[in-house]
Amino acid sequence: MAKKYWLMKCEPAAYTIADLKRDGTTSWEGVRNYQARNFMRDEMHVGDAVLFYASNADPSGVTGLATIARAGYPDQFSWKKGHKYFDAASSKEKPLWYMVDLAFKKQFDGTVSLATLKNTPGLEDMVVTRRGSRLSVQPVTKAEYDIVVRLGSKLQSARR
């Protein structure tokens, strides 16, 4: 199974790369979009690389790296009555939604902002740079991943 590359969005108010650094691993529940679910359920595998993207942030952008620690498994919060991720259409017997676990890899010393992504040659086709792109789990190519990693590392050396 070839290693795959992903971008996963989260609002800083909910979870940040610093939180992931502290926790080591985290579960990624609450995704309620079919396209994103299909990626998590069918295509993510342990060891896949993840760009951690902070949305609705100042600025929004990639703040670090993670890896998939556990492949897609049913989102048990979806059948917990009263939970904020409850969905009556989902049950333990017939799960509708799926989640994965992430492991911390690296925190950038800053943010590779969306503006930077948009201005970087080679990233023109990234899903996140497209107008109106709301998908919270997106595939990226290895080339795109490598470019973002380089941009993130440069952030760190520039600071010192």
Partner DNA sequence: GCCAACGTTGGC
SS3 for the chain is CCCCEEEEEECCCCCCHHHHHHHCEEECCCCCCHHHHHHHHHHCCCCCEEEEEECCCCCCEEEEEEEEEEEEEECHHHHCCCCCCCCCCCCCCCCCCEEEEEEEEEEEEEEEEHHHHHHCCCCCCCHHHCCCCCCCEEEECHHHHHHHHHHHHHHHHHHC
Q: Does 33 bind DNA (CB under 7 A)?
A: yes
Q: Site map for DNA, 48-77, x if CB under 7 A?
A: -------xxx--x-----------------
Single out the segment in contact with DNA by CB under 7 A; choices: 15-23, 31-39, 95-103, 142-150: 31-39
Q: Could you tell me which stretch among 18-26, 28-36, 78-86, 140-148 binds DNA (CB under 7 A)?
A: 28-36
User: Which among 18-26, 68-76, 104-112, 127-135 is the span making contact with DNA, rule CB under 7 A?
Assistant: 127-135
The answer to whether residue 127 forms part of the interface with DNA (CB under 7 A) is no
The verdict on 121 binding DNA (CB under 7 A) reads no
